Structure 1
Amino acid sequence: MTRIAKQLAIAAALAATVATSATAGSVGFQQIRNATVKITYGGTTFLVDPMLAKAGSYPAFQGTYHSELRNPTVELPLPLEDVMRADAVIVTHTHLDHWDDGAKAALPKHIPLFAQNDEDAASIRKAGFTDVRVLGPDSEFKGVRLTPVTGQHGTDQIMAALGERLGKTVGIVFRQPGHKTVYIAGDTIWTPQVAGAIAQYRPDVIVLNTGYARLKAFDGSIIMGKEDVERAYHAAPQATIIGSHMEALNHLTQTRQDLKDYVAEKGLDAQRVLVPADGEAYRF
């Protein structure tokens, strides 16, 4: 081999090493539909809160806005087989819009699946899934730490009246050495637990469910809205904020455009507040 050929070979090897390291150390996010998203750490992909049925498969949620619509209100942006391509599934809670009959029917029964507690795990096992694990402070999958963060699925007033119906829910902090930290807050309003998780884990990426889902009989919402994006923006100046869980269910009252308009109105950095379309993906 000539000297020039050796130099070219070394340069190519170094380039390949850098590219491999960048891929191995990267974190990917993809908005699928509604609260269904994918998080990828290197070569490990998590499918979170899969709602996989075709548009219009279910009636509107009772006592909510736009009850003339059927759910989900839009189709999946990708073929079902592409959406399901993952190494593990995380179900933050078992409400229909996070774990539906479409997911139960389509996902392979042997796929590793994480649930928030024993009750949800038992329900998922009844659907035929054989590798169901309960999230805990030391949960890990292929080197990725999965830490649950308690959520509150509605205001104090709503939870006092409908707490049994709305139930428990969690968010998830994803961590791996050499990778950015991701916090998916899940179906929750802004609480001290949410603020505490941001302060403790200092996530580089924060995913908020910001569709501002509402019930007709109550003021306020059962998940976050645009003001909560601003709270997270200031609470985590190092983080990119992603708005998810919009424009796919009858009772979601905040649109993507609403959030974009609010970001502009408040003078927030649009490079730090991302509002993905269904199917859109980012790498951090």
Structure 2
Amino acid sequence: MTLTIQHIRHATSLITIQGKTILLDPMLSDTGELPPIPFTRHVRRNPTVPLSVPLETFKHIDAILVTHLHVDHFDKTAKKILNKKMPVLCQPEDQQRILSWGFENVFPIEQFKHWEGIDFTRIRGQHAKGNISKLLGPVSGFILNTPDDGSLYIVGDCVLTDQIKQVFEQHKPRICIVNAPNAQLLFGSVITMIPEDIGTILKTSPSTKVVAVHMDAIRHCTSSRKDLLQYIEQQQLLDSVVIPEDGEYIYF
């Protein structure tokens, strides 16, 4: 069985695993339909690029997986158009808000959940360092594992912490999706991974294939695909890192 990732835009992907299609972190608004990100120096609206697929695409999914509820990971269009009976898997802190949006089947993952032949393990994350982390609220990553497909680690909007390094040391995931746009708030607070973190991850787990996303769609993300490509070329990591374009399929 083939594991497939279709990168839609920003942090949004369609993951097909164990024959099920899971929508990850749905930001489905058209260009300019979302406000500027608070506490950044950018005053123009988001996203900066259109959705790469028609909205009808999201009628053909089996579940939704949400790392956290910032507007660029679960937006107003997603709340409006997604089937309210669709299973939603999330961190426990987000269950009540998602229920309040009318979704009926919301499954919080405290540590572990088995769903439709897929094992989900939640990894606690940290959206920034210091007090900024409290401002931004909780965020999680998830490891999806099946006997046929191996492990896929969705890291989420996390800075690279010692705990996440330990996850790579212990699990050595076959594939990981990393948000590495060097997103910044005012005063230079970095709130995601940066290109150099991918190098650290691959030193820790050289067999992992990295899918790098979260670039070229929201204004406070300061590293572009071009920037990341330049870094991985310099570090000779081209065989280990994929930087998908919006709408692109990746087959494993």
- In the alignment of these two chains, the number of paired residues is 252
Are 1:132 and 2:102 an aligned pair? Answer: no
1:264 paired with 2:233, answer: yes
1:62 aligns to 2:38 (yes or no): yes
Relative to the length of structure 1, the TM-score reads 0.86
Q: CA deviation at 1:84?
A: 4.5
1:62–1:138: structure 2 CA closer, same or farther, 3 Å change rule?
A: closer
Provide the rounded CA distance (Å) in 2 between the counterparts of 1:257 and 1:126: 40
Secondary structure of residue in 1 paired with 2:135: helix
3-state secondary structure, aligned to 1:237: coil
In structure 2, the gaps of 5 or more residues are none
Amino acid at match of 1:262: Y
Q: Which residue in 2 is equivalent to 1:226?
A: 195
* Residues 31 and 48 in structure 2, CA contact (< 8 A), matched pair in contact too: yes
1:1-284 superposed matches below 5 A: 25-65=1-41, 67-117=42-92, 119-156=93-130, 160=131, 162-219=132-189, 221-268=190-237, 270-284=238-252
Contact 1:26 1:180 in 2 (8 A): no
Corresponding position of 1:10: none
Provide the C-alpha distance between the structure 1 equivalents of 2:49 and 2:122, rounded to a whole number of angstroms. 29
- Gapped regions of structure 1 (runs ≥ 5): 1-24
**What SS does the corresponding residue of 2:107 show, helix, strand or coil?**
strand
* Structure 1: distance between partners of 2:247 and 2:59: 13
Q: CA deviation at 1:86?
A: 1.3
The list of structure 1 runs, each at least 4 consecutive aligned residues, that deviate by more than 4 angstroms after superposition, is none
Greater helix fraction, Structure 1 or Structure 2:
1
Q: Contact 1:32–1:83 at 8 Å: present in 2 too?
A: no
**CA-to-partner distance for each residue in 1:86-139, whole Å, 9 max, x for gaps?**
10001111110111111000100000001101x311000000000000013331
- Displacement of 1:218 in angstroms is 3.3
Percent of matched pairs sharing the same residue? 35
1:168-196 per-residue CA deviation (whole Å, 9 max, x = no partner) reads: 00001010112121001000000112112
Contact persistence 2:180–2:214 (CA under 8 A): yes
Cα pair 1:27 1:180 within 8 Å, conserved:
no
Rounded to whole Å, the distance in 1 between the matches of 2:25 and 2:59 is 11
CA RMSD of aligned residues (A): 1.3
Q: Which moved more, 1:247-256 or 1:192-201?
A: 192-201
Q: Which residue identity does 1:150 align to in structure 2? A: R
More strand per residue: 2
**Partner amino acid for 1:59?**
P
